[in-house]
Amino acid sequence: MEERVAQEVETQEFWRWPETNWVNPDIDWKKGKVITAGVDVGSVSTQSVVMVDGDFFAYGNTRTGSDSPNSARKGMGFVLEKTDMTIENIDYCIGTGYGRVNVPMAQQSITEISCHARGANFMYGPEVRTVMDMGGQDCKAIHVDDQGKVLNFMMNDKCAAGTGRGMEVFADLIRVPVWEIGARSFKIQKEPPMISSTCVVFAKSEVVGLLESGMPENDIMAAYCSAMAHRIMELLNRLGVKETFVITGGIAKNEGVVKRLEKELGIKTGEPVWNKKEYRDRGYPFDTQLAGAIGAALFGNALLKMGKAKSSRKAYSV
Amino acid sequence: MIANYGFGDGSGDWYVTIDTVKCNGCGKCPEVCPTKLLAVGPDEIDPFREEPVAFVKQEDRKKIKYSCAPCRPGYGEEPAPCVGVCEPKAISHSEGWKLQFGSR
């Protein structure tokens, strides 16, 4: 119903965030001994990362389509088109995320919990103790040790409240691009009371009500962001927070949620910058959504080194 | 690692908790579990682990509220069969079970 009108009037999709890919110009993969890949097929986005000898080489971040195998192929193709590498040059590929069992080029699948823990350890540094992964359709709180090993984890029920999908639905409703919500939620006079429903569908009708009552858009964004922060806090309270605390996943890019969560917890989250100095100096792009795929690629590297996995170049056939 | 299978809602936390460090993968708990939701196999959280470990089957994870019901404190035998049979004391249940149904 809404679609038909949108096509006539305006076709902009406010929830659609830009897909990105990047290749590291400093690494010549042909000299690399072990090339591993991680494909994180999430419920909303698919990330693929290629690592050469455990160094960050290339990544791609795409939307997940309606079927996992194609999303994985698309995600992997999106990375490889930037490089002169083919899928056959990759030694070992690990699938992770929601659709991990359906990644055609993967030799193994590992749960996203272990991958996010390991990825966060690599990205934010070994002092990370609590990882909050804010995914597209669920959120998980993970305690990790200095090796990136999972100590304890807790997952919410499969529910989009307080997740990336909820934010997308909200962006589309309020007609503000999803990446602008965080900044705009601070352009307010006074912090409004939070949206009381956590359920996305209920929150949506509540927002419609607020819009009609004449509440400014920015205030509604602030109200939604604090509702989301509150929901994350409830999950964290159950597990407990140990410093250093970091947030991975798409919501970590929304400062409206992150800053409000910091305020509620009284704990600063880890800065979203590479822990490795050379990565920072060379200005490698830091994408919080990559943690799962980076973790998977690192697992591949480690498994090959330990001799638990066999290199399978040219293992992939369509 | 402490693996929590279950959920928390307004009425409290409902978790089957398996301490994988203590678990020796002996395979006694799947045998005694009345609803057969436990299994022993490779550790999916830690790919480096060699020994098998007990876990709640993937397809049963969302149904714990119902499938674990026969053993809730106050209903079933005390302690629950899986907890009683576990020699290394790796399995436990969250406080929510005890709060709602009383503990003995």
CATH code for the domain of A198: 3.30.420.40
Bridge partners of residue B87, in order along the sequence: none
What single letter denotes the amino acid at residue A67? D
Residues of A in Cβ contact (< 8 Å) with B46? 114, 149-150
Q: Shortest CB distance from B47 goes to which of A114, A151, A152?
A: A114
Co-location of A171 and A254 in the same domain: yes
Co-location of A116 and A8 in the same domain: yes
User: Is the pTM of the predicted complex or chain greater than 0.80?
Assistant: yes
Token duo for residue A273: 């910058």
Residue labelled with tokens 């809404």: A2
Residue A177: other Cβ atoms inside 10 A = 16
Q: Does A273 touch chain B (CB under 8 A)?
A: no
Co-location of A226 and A296 in the same domain: no
Token duo for residue A83: 């490089």
Co-location of A211 and A290 in the same domain: no
Q: How many A-B residue pairs are in contact by the CB < 8 A criterion?
A: 39
Which range of residues forms the domain containing residue B59?
2-101
Q: For residues A294 and A309, give the distance between their C-alpha atoms in angstroms, rounded to a whole number.
A: 18
Q: For residues B29 and B26, give the distance between their C-alpha atoms in angstroms, rounded to a whole number.
A: 8
pLDDT tens, residue order, chain A (318 aa): 556 555 555 667 888 888 888 888 888 888 888 899 999 998 889 999 999 988 899 999 999 888 888 888 988 888 888 888 888 888 899 999 888 888 888 888 898 899 999 999 999 989 999 999 988 888 888 999 998 889 988 876 667 777 888 888 889 888 889 888 989 999 998 889 988 887 888 888 899 999 999 989 899 999 999 988 888 888 888 788 888 899 998 888 899 999 999 998 888 888 888 888 888 888 888 889 999 999 999 999 999 888 887 877 764 443
Which range of residues forms the domain containing residue A58?
2-125+276-305
Please report the pLDDT score of residue A245 as a whole number: 92
Residues of A in Cβ contact (< 8 Å) with B7? 156-157
Token duo for residue A217: 């858009």
* CA distance to partner chain B, nearest, from residue A213 (Å): 31
Co-location of A34 and A115 in the same domain: yes
Co-location of A88 and A165 in the same domain: no
Co-location of A174 and A256 in the same domain: yes
Q: For residues B52 and B44, give the distance between their C-alpha atoms in angstroms, rounded to a whole number.
A: 10
CATH of the domain at B60: 3.30.70
Co-location of A64 and A118 in the same domain: yes
Count of the separate structural domains present in chain A: 2
Co-location of A299 and A217 in the same domain: no
Instruction: Give domain status of residue A53, yes or no.
Output: yes
Listing DSSP states for A23-76 in one string gives E-TT--GGG-S-EEEEEEE-SSEEEEEEEETTEEEEEEEEE--SSHHHHHHHHH
3-state class (DSSP) for residue B12: strand
Please report the pLDDT score of residue A39 as a whole number: 92
Q: Shortest CB distance from B4 goes to which of A111, A154, A157?
A: A154
Q: For residues B53 and B44, give the distance between their C-alpha atoms in angstroms, rounded to a whole number.
A: 9
Q: For residues A286 and A182, give the distance between their C-alpha atoms in angstroms, rounded to a whole number.
A: 18
Q: For residues A13 and A177, give the distance between their C-alpha atoms in angstroms, rounded to a whole number.
A: 8
Inter-chain residue contact A151 with B48, CB threshold 8 Å? no
Co-location of A175 and A83 in the same domain: no
Token duo for residue A80: 């490889």
Residues of A in Cβ contact (< 8 Å) with B3? 153
Q: What is the dihedral of CA A82, A35, A150, B36, to 10 degrees?
A: 100
Residue labelled with tokens 């006694």: B28
Closest CA to A58 of A27, A14, A94: A27
Instruction: Give domain status of residue A7, yes or no.
Output: yes
Instruction: Give domain status of residue A148, yes or no.
Output: no
Count of the separate structural domains present in chain B: 1
Inter-chain residue contact B44 with A238, CB threshold 8 Å? no
Give the burial string for A1-27 (b: 16+ CB within 10 Å, else e): eeeeeeeeeeeeebbebeeebbbbeeb
